[in-house]
Amino acid sequence: MTNPAPASNGLYNPDTEQALLGAIFCDNHAFDRVAQIISPEDFAIGVHARIFAAITKAIKAGAPANPFTLKAQFDRDGALAEFGGSVYLMGLADAGTFADAEACARAIADFAQRRALSLTSAAELVAREFKEPKWAVPQVVAEGLTILAGKPKTGKSWAALDFAVAVAGGYEALGNIVCQQGDVLLLALEDNDRRLNQRLKAVLQGQPAPAALQIATRWRRADEGGLHDLRAWLKAHPRARLVVIDTLQLIRGQRAKNDGVYADDYQAIGALKTIADECSVAFLVVHHLRKESAGDPLESVSGTAGITGSADTILVLKREPKDAFALLYVRGRDVLEAEIAMQCDDETGKWLRLVGADDFRRSKERNAIIRALLDMDEPMTPAEISDAIGKPRANNASVRMLLRKMRQAGDVVRHADGRYTASQL
C-alpha cells in the first residue's frame, strides 16, 4: 500500500497505523479495546486520524464501520483521493487481517508520547542521516549562534565586517577562506554611515560591493520588536546565510526585575539562537571580554556562563596592544576546537589568516630568542634567554627544546660551555 505522508514531524510507523485500522474494519469489537488506549490525535498521519475518528463516530452510533459503510464519506476526502479513495480503505482491511489490534494501538500510543516529549531511541538516531552544517565561514562560523568576543579596539568589528562582506560577495574571509555566497544582514549598531563607508572600501580591496549585504546602524531592541524585525527580514530573504549583530549589548532587551543575571544572559542569547535555528542561518553576535584574563578563553567572555552556555560557537579574539598579530580561539558544537593565527593590516584593518597557532607561537618565540641574543651581543645560557623573553626559569624546558631545534636549523650556535649565540649569516 502507498503510505500517506505524516501530518506531523516525528516518530511514526505507517504500517502499524494501517494494520490497526484494518483490524478494526475486520472486527469492530476490537474498537472497544483500542479506544481505551488511543484517540485520533495519536495518529501521526492525518488521513488515518480522520479514518479512526469516522470509525469512532460510526461505532458509537451503533452502526458498522468498514470500507463499505465509510466509502461515501471518504470518496469525497481530497487527501485520501490521492491514494485511491475507497480503494485505500479496502487495502486497510487486507493489511489488518492478522493484526493484533491492541499491540498496534500500544505502539501508536508509544510513538505519540515520544513525539510529544521529543523522545527518540539511540538506534533510530543512529539510523538517521543528517545534512552537514550550513557554513557561513567554513570551519569558523556555522549555522546557529556564534559569539565573537574580544577586548575593545582589538579588531573584532573589522573581523565581523570581513565575514559579512565575504559571505555576501562569495569572496574569501580572512584573506583565504572561500565562502559560499548568500544574503547577509549586518547590524552595525556602534557605527555610522561615514565610518562604514571607509571600512567597506578598506575590506573590499577593490572588489565590487556586494548588493546582497544589507546594513543597518539602528535596530529596535529585542523586547521592543527587534526579534520580530529579524524574523521579517529573514522571511523576505530566503537565501540568507549570515546575520551579524554588532554588538549584543545594543540589541538585548532590558533585564526583568525578577530575573537573575544568569537567566537574563541565557535569555538574551537564547532568543536570538531560536531564530537562527528556525531559519537555519548563522548568527554572529559581537561581544566583549572581561577586563581580567582567564586560563580558559570561554571564561574570559563578559557576562555569566548563560552567554557561553547558550551559544553554539564561541570565538575569542586575543591581540596585544600595538601588535599586528592575534589569535582567534574557536570552540563550538559543530566546529573543531582550534586556534587561528591572524595578522591585521593596520592601514586597511583587514585580517589575514596565517599558519596554525602552534606554528605561529613557535615562530614568535624563535624571533624573540634571536632578538634577545642579538641585543645581548654575548653568549647566553638557556636560563638567561628564558628571562629575556619572559619565560619562567623554573620551567624553561620548552626553551631548551626550542633552542635544540633552532640549533639543528642553523639559527643559533651552542658553545662548549652550554651558552648560545645567534648564527652570523
Determine the pLDDT at residue 79.
Answer: 57
Q: Provide CB contacts within 8 A for 53, sequence distance 6+.
A: 40
Q: What does the alpha-carbon distance between residue 213 and residue 145 come to, in Å, rounded to a whole number?
A: 19
Instruction: Report residue 366's pLDDT band, with 50, 70 and 90 as the boundaries.
Output: confident
Averaged pLDDT of the chain: 88
Residue 355 has pLDDT above 60, yes or no: no
14-127 and 361-422, same CATH topology: no
Give 185-217 pLDDT, tens digit per residue.
Answer: 999 999 999 999 999 999 998 999 999 999 999
Residue 84 has pLDDT above 90, yes or no: no
Instruction: Report residue 389's pLDDT band, with 50, 70 and 90 as the boundaries.
Output: confident
Can you give the pTM of this predicted structure?
0.64
Q: For the structural domain made of 361-422, what CATH number should be given?
A: 1.10.10.10
Give 3-62 pLDDT, tens digit per residue.
Answer: 555 544 457 889 999 999 999 999 999 999 999 999 999 999 888 998 999 999 999 999
Where do the domains of the chain lie?
14-127, 135-344, 361-422
Q: Provide CB contacts within 8 A for 115, sequence distance 6+.
A: 8, 9, 10, 11, 12, 44
Residue 74 has pLDDT above 80, yes or no: no
Q: Domain 14-127, what fold?
A: DNAb Helicase; Chain A (1.10.860)
In the predicted model, what is the mean pLDDT of residues 344-371?
Answer: 75
Instruction: Report residue 131's pLDDT band, with 50, 70 and 90 as the boundaries.
Output: confident
Residue 2 has pLDDT above 60, yes or no: no
In the predicted model, what is the mean pLDDT of residues 340-365?
Answer: 75
Q: What does the alpha-carbon distance between residue 170 and residue 159 come to, in Å, rounded to a whole number?
A: 16
Output 56-65 pairs: Cβ under 8 A, ≥24 positions apart.
Answer: 56/31, 59/28, 59/31, 64/28, 65/24, 65/25, 65/28, 65/31
Determine the pLDDT at residue 7.
Answer: 44
Instruction: Kindly list the distances between the CA atom of residue 206 and the CA atoms of 95, 201, 209, 261, in Å, as whole numbers in the listed order.
Output: 68, 7, 9, 45
Give 254-312 pLDDT, tens digit per residue.
Answer: 876 666 788 888 889 999 999 999 999 999 999 999 877 767 888 889 988 889 999 99
In the predicted model, what is the mean pLDDT of residues 241-245?
Answer: 98
Give 160-177 pLDDT, tens digit per residue.
Answer: 999 999 999 999 999 999
CATH architecture designation of domain 135-344 = 3-Layer(aba) Sandwich (3.40)
Distance of CA 365 to the CA centre of its chain: 35
Give 110-129 pLDDT, tens digit per residue.
Answer: 999 888 887 778 888 888 88
Query: Which of 139, 175, 181 has the alpha carbon at shortest distance from 159?
Result: 175
Q: Where are the beta strands (DSSP E) in 208-247?
A: 213-216, 240-246
Distance of CA 355 to the CA centre of its chain: 25
